[in-house]
Amino acid sequence: MTDFIALDGATIAFDLDGTLVDSAPDLIGAMNAILIAEGLAPRAYADARPFISRGARWLLQWGLAGAGVPEPAARAAAMFCRFIDHYGERIADESRPFPGVIDALKALRAGGAKLVVCTNKPTGLSIDLLSRLGMAELFDGVVGIDAVTAAKPAAAHLIEAVAAVGGDLARTVMVGDADTDAGAARAAGTPLILVDFGYTEIPASELAPDILLHHFEDLADACAALLART
């Protein structure tokens, strides 16, 4: 049974892509649409998926580099607005919450926890995605890369996200899937939960989380256990 006393007044900060939402189909689809429009071959889904944690601009750069485009960083910068326009129009075509996410978020809220999204995705796109998936109302705040002084893995992103919802950093748990989330949690001194089904080049198990999560049905108990230690 979850110890709801431990959850009351705590803040749970979440990464978005690869943690809450399986957004890879639409992100990779947008990258491939740009490549195809440039007369280039699309990249394989399985090859591209681990790199989503680095951000959309890097994903596009990676796709261009793999297609043999010279100066892929400069080309990606020049094409990035096109990428965002395409992605924004199709942001929830195939993206879906991971199994068990909705029930887990509701359980945390029922226990009195504040929930905030702490993502390197722009805030507007993040809110749009969550709204289209019927998830936005479950969060007390959404803090994207454009709303902070420094993005994950900097501690500032997590610290400022927690402050945005009136939370207490000393009673915060970070939930993510990749090294950027692990870095932010460690730098801020908060407990860390990583899911093992997200987007990461380094397996989540090798990033030394306090708890490695296999199913969202275990999230409330995991958060409560870490908070009880503090």
Residue positions annotated with a catalytic role: 15
- Cα separation of 27 and 143, whole Å? 20
How distant, in Å, are the alpha carbons of 8, 28, 93 from that of 116? 15, 26, 24
Please count the other Cβ atoms lying within 10 Å of the Cβ belonging to residue 89: 10
Work out the angle at residue 62's Cα, subtended by the Cα atoms of residues 117 and 153, and round it to the nearest 5 degrees: 35
Provide φ and ψ at 140, rounded to 5°. -80, -20
- Cα separation of 229 and 190, whole Å? 11
Is residue 198 within 8 Å of residue 18, measured between CB atoms? yes
